Amino acid sequence: MATLPTFRTRIAPTPSGYLHIGNAYNFLLVHRWAQVMSANRAATSIRLRIDDLDQERVRPEYLRHTFDLLAALEIPIDLGPKDVADHLSHYSQRDRLSAYQLLLDLAMDQGLVYACRCSRRTVAALVNEQGITGQTLPTDSIHCPCVAQQLHPDHEDNCLRLMPTKWDQVLQAMAQQQQKSTPSEDISDPITAPGDDISAMPPVLRRRDKLPAYHITTLVDDETHQITHIVRGQDLWPSTILQQYLATWLNLPHFSKIHFWHHGLIRNEAGEKLSKSAGANKTPWLPSSNELKWLREQALDCHFDAQ
């Protein structure tokens, strides 16, 4: 059996829109950490994993842009699809639905989830009723009426959410970690601070359309691929804490050992984080020579752990 590289990381874009400079920055940081580890004589690999489960938002042009951007950034990919056709034929998350369902079944068997029929409007009303402003990090979850109703998980209107008692544990862990760290304003500094919005509503683990949510697919994929190091923006810091707890509860030993590195975000002139959903890039973007030079300089200034 071949020996696995000691440093195994991944680039995991979602083709729900054209990628932007913030995505490029993240990709370069992944590459930079691999270079640092390689310089310390570690065997490394970078995997491309395209999170395409939400087929309603995926477009062929968004998929193509992922490969065009990686080529422009000159980031070598060791594992994963080489082009759009290769991804669709061999690497789509749709081909891993059975593995995701197994983890959801385990979560249900262990009583980690409950069926919820709350719409976004209902959630907003609950937030307003319970006086959760979003200005501070919540330490208690919203009191969702669906918990006591014990709704059937397979009803067409129901999603599956993490049990409030479990979400409370995660929120309290976030609050404790926040107190121990000081967020940096420099986009090139590693931080362990929460992102822009942490909801007090227990997170969805299976959507109403019965597809697994992001947290489940990420756990399965990173566990299966035996990823050892992950670079994320600070907006995904809450996701990291949640997923670490889920990995423990669901007995995913490899995921629990992953080294995470959270970086500051590149923001627009209004100080808002860039996002595809907010229309950060309405047309396919590739970095100019000056943008590429600046991005590489930012990545070089980062100080990664050589572990």
Residue pLDDT, tens place only, 201-231: 899 999 999 999 999 999 999 999 999 999 9
The confidence band for 200, taking pLDDT boundaries of 50, 70 and 90, is: confident
Looking only at the bridges linking them, the beta strands covering 7-11 and 44-48 are: parallel
State the average pLDDT over residues 121-145.
Answer: 73
Report pTM: 0.87
* Polymer length of the chain: 307
Per-range mean pLDDT, top range of 51-60, 101-110, 263-272: 101-110
Residue 190 carries which side chain, given as an amino acid letter?
Answer: P
Angle at which helices 214-224 and 237-249 cross, to 10°: 70
Q: Where are the domains of the chain?
A: 7-300
Lowest mean pLDDT among 70-74, 195-199, 239-243, 271-275: 195-199
Distances (CA, A) of 96 to 114, 152, 214: 23, 25, 13
pLDDT at 56: 86
How far apart are alpha carbons 272 and 279 in whole angstroms? 12
Give the separation between CA 90 and CA 133, rounded to whole angstroms.
45
Using one digit for the tens of pLDDT, what is the confidence trace for 230-257? 999 988 998 999 999 999 999 999 999 9
What is the predicted pLDDT for the residue at 270? Answer: 53
What does the alpha-carbon distance between residue 294 and residue 25 come to, in Å, rounded to a whole number?
Answer: 10
* Residues 225 and 178 sit within 8 Å (Cβ to Cβ): no
Task: Say how far apart CA 141 and CA 38 lie, in whole Å.
Answer: 43
CATH code linked to domain 7-300: 3.40.50.620
Long-range contacts of 85-91 (CB under 8 A, 24+ apart): 87/50, 87/52, 87/63, 88/63, 91/49, 91/50
